[in-house]
Amino acid sequence: MLKKLFRYLLPLALIVISILVVVALVIRSAANRPERVDDAQQAVLVDTVTARAQSLNFVVESQGPVRPRTETTLVAEVSGRIVSVSPHFIAGGFFRAGETLLEIDPSDYAAAVKRAEAALASRRAQLADEQARADQAIKDWRNLGKTGEPPDLVARKPQLADATANVLAAEADLDKARRDLQRTRISVPYDGLVREKIADIGQYAAPGAQLGVTFAVDAAEIRLPVSAADLAYLDLPGTAESDPARLPAVTLRADVGGVTRHWDARIIRTEGVIDEVSRVLYAVAQVVDPYGLLGESTQPELRVGTFVRAAIEGRHADNVVVLPRHVLRTDGTVLVASAENELEVRDVDVARAGADEVYIRAGVEDGEHVVTTTLDAPIPGTRLVISSEDGVAQGDRQDAAAQ
């Protein structure tokens, strides 16, 4: 009987003990639960940058290759064998204006000048003879008692006109012979460098044959494309602009031999038309004496063909705040930390937004802290913990750790 009673009570006792154990564990867990922290009081650690209002000139970036202001392809105007070549007529050779670079055999052309001079002298003698005959014919007409003007045939006017025309033709032939003689000497009217040498001594040159390529060294030019958006920040010279003081300054830079070099230039003109394909306007910058050969420049040598990056000085702006480009949100706002270290979402007036910087006219005051940390869902009034250049202040670290 006792054994049967024990068999029924044992399961019941096990159930009761299990219930007691579970209740004890729940009570212990409730006792150790941490206090609930109000999420609204949690602070967010952010980086900031101090806004500084300043006056500045906008800068528009562009780029392009350096090209000569004037480039000439030397072409033979007369035929003949090249009998002389200047020692400066080599690739990279420097020459002065009017210097003879090549000479074609002038002997035949010198002889043609002498023949033309002789022909002119003969024609002038014939004209003098005809003039004398005409004067004598008019005297004979008067001696016969005739009055009035004698007929043209009597005054030998047709013969005089023919002799005069022959003199003019002989003078033209002499001028052409002299020009052909001058054309045997190949030169250009500027100081320059030889880009390419094509012909050499002993070679026969036919009219129209290319002899070489030269370019002037008084100035170099760079075509700089400017987009329609950037035109609003530049005061480019108009078609009739002539005041050098109003020409925008340009700083050129390029890597030469592993060293970044800089050159000063000026925008001297625009090409006046918008490119139909790229929709840009080309502004032309000029560098004076790029090779330093004329004593007009002390800048480093700027070789033709160098690809340079250009910073064009633009319009002046007062009291603008320059901030990193990424702080400007897509909705035209920026995040600002108030004096109480609370988050504010500000609408701003953007003067210009570049690739790396944004220029703000209004919406951010000088000295305010602009949040640079990206916040996915910023809520105005959120408490902020602002980091400094040395990290987070100790007091702020303790407050953040306690939360």
The model's pLDDT over 78-117, given as tens digits with 9 standing for 90+, comes to: 999 999 999 999 999 999 999 999 999 999 999 999 999 9
User: By the 8 A CB rule, do 159 and 130 touch?
Assistant: yes
Query: What are the b/e assignments for 376-386, b being 16+ CB within 10 Å?
Result: eebeeebebbb
pLDDT of residue 403: 35
Amino acid at 403: Q
Q: Specify the domain boundaries for CATH 2.40.420.20 within the chain.
A: 45-57+318-402
Distance CA 281, CA 274 (A): 5
> Higher model confidence: residue 212 or residue 3?
212
Distance CA 80, CA 74 (A): 15
> Higher model confidence: residue 252 or residue 228?
252
CATH class of 76-215: mainly beta
Predicted TM-score (pTM) of this structure? 0.70
Q: Specify the domain boundaries for CATH 2.40.50.100 within the chain.
A: 76-215
Query: And the tokens for 341?
Result: 């270290």
Beta bridge partners of 286: 221, 266
pLDDT of residue 392: 38
Nearest Cα neighbor of 217 from 307, 302, 331, 311 is: 302
Mean pLDDT of 247-262: 92
Query: And the tokens for 209?
Result: 């044959």
pLDDT of residue 400: 35
Nearest Cα neighbor of 198 from 343, 113, 90, 111 is: 90
pLDDT of residue 185: 96
Query: And the tokens for 204?
Result: 């026969």
Distance CA 133, CA 139 (A): 10
The domain covering 61-68+217-315 belongs, at the CATH homologous superfamily level, to: Efflux pump adaptor protein, beta barrel domain (2.40.30.170)
pLDDT of residue 393: 37
pLDDT of residue 200: 94
pLDDT for residue 188 is more than 60: yes
Q: How many Cβ atoms from other residues are within 10 Å of residue 292's Cβ?
A: 14
Distance CA 185, CA 198 (A): 16
pLDDT of residue 275: 86
Q: Specify the domain boundaries for CATH 2.40.30.170 within the chain.
A: 61-68+217-315
Q: Where are any strands of DSSP class E within 90-191?
A: 94-95, 102-104, 185-186
> Higher model confidence: residue 4 or residue 215?
215
Mean pLDDT of 387-402: 41
Beta bridge partners of 254: 261
Nearest Cα neighbor of 370 from 401, 315, 329 is: 329
Q: Which of 15-24, 51-60, 151-160, 271-280 has the lowest mean pLDDT?
A: 15-24
Q: How confident is the model at residue 216 (pLDDT cuts 50, 70, 90)?
A: very high
Q: What rounded mean pLDDT belongs to the chain?
A: 85
CATH topology of domain 45-57+318-402: 2.40.420
pLDDT for residue 246 is more than 80: no
Mean pLDDT of 61-82: 95
User: By the 8 A CB rule, do 310 and 64 touch?
Assistant: yes
Distance CA 40, CA 37 (A): 9
